[in-house]
C-alpha cells in the first residue's frame, strides 16, 4: 500500500511535469512568434494562440498577459475608432483576467496603464484628461508594486516624450525618466524565460531621440 501511494505520487507529479513541459513549450513557441510578428494580422494570430493557452490553463497569468500584450500591438494597425476601442476593451478585459489570477502584479498593472493611454488616441479631446490621469495613476501603482520593474518607467518616459513641455512633458523630462528606465533594464533579469522581458530597445532608441 505504501509503495502504491509513493507510486501514485510519482505518477501524478510526473503528469504535472509533462503538463508543465507542454505549457512551457507552447509558451516559448508563441513568444518566438510574438517577437517575430510585424503586421496587425501577425499580432492577432499570436494573441489568438495565447488565448487558446489561457482558456486551457486557468491558473496561469502569463498567457493572458501576452494575449493582452499582443492585442495592444494589433490595435496599432486598426484605424476605425470603434474597432480599435473593441480590441483595446478586450485587451483590458484579458489583463483584468490575468490580474485576477495574479493580483498586485506590477507587469499586469503596467499593461493596464498602456491600454488606458492607447484608448485616449481614439478620442483625445474628450478622453485625454480623464484617461490620462487614470493611466498615470496605474503607472505609479506599477512602480509602487515593483520599483525594479523597468517597464512602467518606459511607459512614463514615452508619455512625457509625446506630451508638449507646456503640459508638463517634453524631451528633458522624458530623458530623465528614460535614463532611469534603461538603468533598470540593465540590471533587470527575468525570473525565467517566460517572464516579461520587453522594452529595452525601445527605451534606448527613445532615449537617443531625447538627446538629439
Contact call for residue 100 and another protein (CB under 8 A): no
The footprint of another protein on residues 125-164 (CB under 8 A) is 125-127, 130, 133-134, 136-137, 139-140, 156, 160, 164
Q: Which is nearer to another protein, 10 or 195 (CB)?
A: 10
Q: Which is nearer to another protein, 31 or 160 (CB)?
A: 160
| Least distance (Å) between residue 126 CB and another protein | 5
Q: Considering CB under 8 A, how many residues would be counted as binding another protein?
A: 49
* H, E, C per residue of 135-192: HHHHHHHHHHHCCCCHHHHHHHHHHHHHCCHHHCCCHHHHHHHHHHHHHHHHHCCCCC
| H or E stretch at 129 | helix 124-145
| Least distance (Å) between residue 151 CB and another protein | 15
Per CB under 8 A, the segment of 15-23, 104-112, 190-198, 202-210 that binds another protein is 15-23
| Least distance (Å) between residue 192 CB and another protein | 19
Report long-range pairs for 119-123 (Cβ below 8 Å, ≥24 apart): 119/85, 119/88, 121/84, 122/81, 122/84, 122/85, 122/88, 123/81
Amino acid at each position: 500500500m505504501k509503495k502504491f501511494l509513493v507510486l501514485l505520487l510519482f505518477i501524478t507529479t510526473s503528469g504535472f511535469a509533462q503538463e508543465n513541459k507542454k505549457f512551457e513549450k507552447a509558451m516559448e513557441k508563441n513568444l518566438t512568434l510574438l517577437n517575430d510578428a510585424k503586421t496587425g494580422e501577425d499580432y492577432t494570430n499570436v494573441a489568438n494562440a495565447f488565448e487558446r493557452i489561457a482558456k486551457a490553463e486557468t491558473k496561469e497569468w502569463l498567457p493572458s498577459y501576452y494575449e493582452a500584450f499582443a492585442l495592444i500591438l494589433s490595435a496599432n494597425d486598426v484605424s476605425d475608432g470603434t474597432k480599435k476601442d473593441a480590441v483595446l476593451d478586450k485587451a483590458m478585459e484579458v489583463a483584468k483576467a490575468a490580474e485576477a489570477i495574479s493580483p498586485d502584479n506590477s507587469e499586469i498593472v503596467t499593461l493596464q496603464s498602456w491600454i488606458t493611454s492607447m484608448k485616449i488616441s481614439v478620442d483625445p479631446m474628450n478622453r485625454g484628461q480623464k484617461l490620462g490621469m487614470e493611466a498615470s495613476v496605474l503607472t505609479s501603482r506599477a512602480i509602487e508594486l515593483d520599483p525594479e520593474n523597468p517597464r512602467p518607467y518606459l511607459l512614463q518616459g514615452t508619455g512625457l516624450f509625446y506630451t508638449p513641455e507646456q503640459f508638463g512633458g517634453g524631451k528633458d523630462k522624458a530623458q530623465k525618466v528614460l535614463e532611469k528606465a534603461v538603468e533598470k533594464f540593465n540590471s533587470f533579469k527575468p525570473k525565467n524565460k517566460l517572464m516579461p522581458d520587453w522594452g529595452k530597445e525601445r527605451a534606448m532608441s527613445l532615449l537617443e531621440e531625447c538627446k538629439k
